[in-house]
Amino acid sequence: MPESTTEILAYRILELLPFLTALPEALHLPLAIALTGLVPITIISLIGLVGVYMERKISAFIQVRLGPMEVGPYGILQTLADGIKLIGKEDIIPRGADRPLFILAPIFAFVGVVLLFVAIPFDRNFIVVDLNVGIFYLAAVASIEVVGVIMAGWASNNKWSLLGAMREAAQVVAYEIPLGICLITVVLLAGSFSMVEIVEGQKGLFLNWFLFRNPVMWVPFIAFMVASLAELKRAPFDLPEAESELVSGFHTEYTGMRFSIFFIAEYGAMFISGALISVLFLGGYYTGIPFLDDIGGAIGLLLRTGTLFGKAFFFIFVQMWLRWTLPRVRLDQMFYICYKVLVPFGFVALLITAFWELVFPGQGFMSLGWAPGSQ
């Protein structure tokens, strides 16, 4: 049985830090695995750093201004400075707030994001754990964040935060339905729940990407993008944190490091949704140019990981672009979009995809007639 990346890393860590072998035998592997857990947390924090800088610069350029320019060349070190400032802030817990819940809430949100990170494939063998129920796992774990948000809203002892948390719970839970429908559509095309299998199913020319498999695949693509915007609570679906109405929604009362945990969780989730969109519809870590995809070794690994990061960051850019352009939709309009637009269209697309797979199994409609499909 091939060893997963986690186990490989764990043994490497034991080799690198021999003093760990002094501990009892039974603790070796769990401890090393716990240390490997630091890797996704670090990566997510770094993504948060880059994401915040991107957001400030992109919003600035859209709003005809410059953004951070002072700290470091072109303001690159701005987020670092902000992070240091946030760490140094006083930790305020409001009077009357539910202390244990207040402290746990950001942790839930962050843990939800880290757990999602576990299933993102960066390369064929470069994935934390290649679960054979990857898609199912993602859909299930995505809801942990909701618990964190509701806890934050309740524990803040603030009517406005409570309103924000209630809106958020309603929104996220509602949009998981179109999300699930799009996921199932992709699973139909790939024939498997495993994330690596899904990407492998799109190997070859970029016309093999699931987006181009049949004439209706753009519907799940758009639906997934809209639904993930709503899951992330980004504009135009940022009702839970509607600044102009609720000050800051469910995280009004959070300051300093606690607030920055929510913040980093949000940007990590943005990266994960971008990575997911590219994995499901746009070929994942494959560039779509066959000779580039066949490069092996370390260079190939870097190339493919870089491709996935590039696609994910492109979608982060699109999400930020949408945020600074569009106004906010109202609660009932948001539900209308979910239940009366995305779900029916998603179902119809699912049915058509199912029929297509029956008639032209494994073949994209771009390659019908003149070349056989990739599989």
Our CB check for other proteins shows the closer of 42 and 63 to be: 63
Our CB check for other proteins shows the closer of 5 and 156 to be: 156
Contact map string, positions 197 to 236, toward other proteins, x by CB under 8 A: --------------------------------------xx
Residue among 45, 43, 200 nearest 128 (CA): 43
Our CB check for other proteins shows the closer of 47 and 58 to be: 58
Residue among 149, 56, 139, 140 nearest 102 (CA): 149
Q: Which of 58, 116, 119, 163 binds other proteins (CB under 8 A)?
A: 163
Number of Cβ atoms within 10 Å of the Cβ of 132: 12
In the chain, what are the helix, strand and coil shares in percent, each to the nearest 5? Answer: 70, 0, 30
159: contact with other proteins by CB under 8 A: yes
Q: Which of 11, 126, 136, 160 binds other proteins (CB under 8 A)?
A: 160
Contact map string, positions 56 to 85, toward other proteins, x by CB under 8 A: ---x--xxxx--------------------
Q: Where are the beta strands (DSSP E) in 15-114?
A: none
Q: How far is the CB of 371 from other proteins (least distance, A)?
A: 41
331: contact with other proteins by CB under 8 A: yes
Our CB check for other proteins shows the closer of 16 and 326 to be: 326
Residue 201 is encoded by which pair of tokens? 């199913």
Helix (H) or strand (E) holding 116: helix 99-117
Contact map string, positions 231 to 250, toward other proteins, x by CB under 8 A: ----xx-xx--xxxx-x---
Number of Cβ atoms within 10 Å of the Cβ of 12: 12
Q: Which of 21, 42, 132, 333 binds other proteins (CB under 8 A)?
A: 333
Q: Taking the mean position of all CA atoms in its chain, how far away is CA 296? A: 27
332: contact with other proteins by CB under 8 A: yes
Residue 117 is encoded by which pair of tokens? 């990170």
Our CB check for other proteins shows the closer of 252 and 307 to be: 252
Our CB check for other proteins shows the closer of 65 and 95 to be: 65
Our CB check for other proteins shows the closer of 52 and 189 to be: 52
Query: Are the C-beta atoms of 130 and 195 separated by less than 8 Å?
Result: yes
Residue among 153, 148, 157, 147 nearest 166 (CA): 153
Q: Which of 325, 351, 354, 355 binds other proteins (CB under 8 A)?
A: 325
**Which positions ≥6 away from 19 have C-beta within 8 Å?**
none
Q: How far is the CB of 163 from other proteins (least distance, A)?
A: 8
Q: How far is the CB of 221 from other proteins (least distance, A)?
A: 20
Residue 114 is encoded by which pair of tokens? 């880290």
**Which positions ≥6 away from 264 have C-beta within 8 Å?**
44, 45, 48, 110
Interface residue list for other proteins (CB under 8 A):
59, 62-65, 159-160, 163, 167, 235-236, 238-239, 242-245, 247, 324-333
